[in-house]
């Protein structure tokens, strides 16, 4: 199972649990609506934070792979020059 699916499941479960807990709490309607709004804002902020962290991780991985690819390209280019020199001498 991918990290994204696990993360989505955790967020969805937390949000559902929070909403159900609030709905079954013995508060006035206005207080319940306020609690739902507060929890929604809190959950949205948590999702944004996690998403930003995920995007940073992805960006870091892309940069690392880009560097690895550039290094491999340089090595291949160097090897091709060596082979061309060897072939022209023969």
pLDDT in tens, the chain (90 residues): 577 788 788 888 888 887 777 777 777 778 878 877 888 888 889 888 988 988 999 999 999 999 999 999 999 999 998 888 887 776
Confidence (pLDDT) at 29: 75
Could you tell me the pTM of the whole model?
0.50
Supply the range of the domain harboring residue 25: 3-89
Question: If DSSP states are collapsed to H, E and C, what string results for the chain?
Answer: CCHHHHHHHHHHHHHHHHHHHHHCCCCCHHHHHHHHHHHHHHHHHHHHHHHHHHHHHHHHHHHHHHHHHHHHHHHHHHHHHHHHHHHHHC
Structurally, how many domains does the chain consist of?
Answer: 1
Confidence (pLDDT) at 70: 94
Confidence (pLDDT) at 87: 77
């Amino acid at each position: 199972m991918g990290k994204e699916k696990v993360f989505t499941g955790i967020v969805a479960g937390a949000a559902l649990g929070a909403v159900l807990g609030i709905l079954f709490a013995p508060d006035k309607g206005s207080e319940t609506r306020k609690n739902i709004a507060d929890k929604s804002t809190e959950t949205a902020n948590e999702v944004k934070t996690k998403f930003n962290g995920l995007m940073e991780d992805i960006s870091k991985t892309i940069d690392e792979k880009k560097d690895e690819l550039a290094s491999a390209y340089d090595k291949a280019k160097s090897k091709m020059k060596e082979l061309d020199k060897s072939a022209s001498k023969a």
